[in-house]
Amino acid sequence: MAEIAPRSTRDAVRWGLLLSAAAVSGFRLPRTYGAFRDWHAIRSTDRSAAELYRLNFTANAVGIVIILVLALGVFYLLRPRAPKQP
């Protein structure tokens, strides 16, 4: 039977942070898609409304990217250290 390596608190924090970042990004995704769809639907008829939808789309998209980049960065920084070999 294969032995299971002991898990640490650091692993739990890494995976919890990555999971929560994915959940937050997934929560923002429908609103981002809706703003994108509305922006493309109205951009030729009403410029001011199209700018608002574009601003909402841009803010949500940048928020998703920032959340994922920060979570992946922390996930990478908290990875288990390799044992030193002689």
Query: For position 6, what pLDDT does the model report?
Result: 64
Q: Give pLDDT tens digits for 61-85.
A: 999 999 999 999 998 988 877 776 6
Tell me whether residue 11 is in a domain: no
Query: Range of 52's domain?
Result: 29-77
Tell me whether residue 52 is in a domain: yes
Tell me whether residue 85 is in a domain: no
Query: For position 61, what pLDDT does the model report?
Result: 95
Q: Give pLDDT tens digits for 3-58.
A: 566 677 888 888 899 999 999 999 999 999 999 999 999 988 888 888 999 999 99
Query: For position 47, what pLDDT does the model report?
Result: 85
Count structural domains, the chain: 1
Tell me whether residue 8 is in a domain: no
Tell me whether residue 72 is in a domain: yes
Tell me whether residue 10 is in a domain: no
Tell me whether residue 70 is in a domain: yes
Predicted TM-score (pTM) of this structure: 0.77
HEC profile of the chain? CCCCCCCCHHHHHHHHHHHHHHHHHHHHHHHHHHHHHHHHHHCCCCHHHHHHHHHHHHHHHHHHHHHHHHHHHHHHHCCCCCCCCC
Tell me whether residue 71 is in a domain: yes
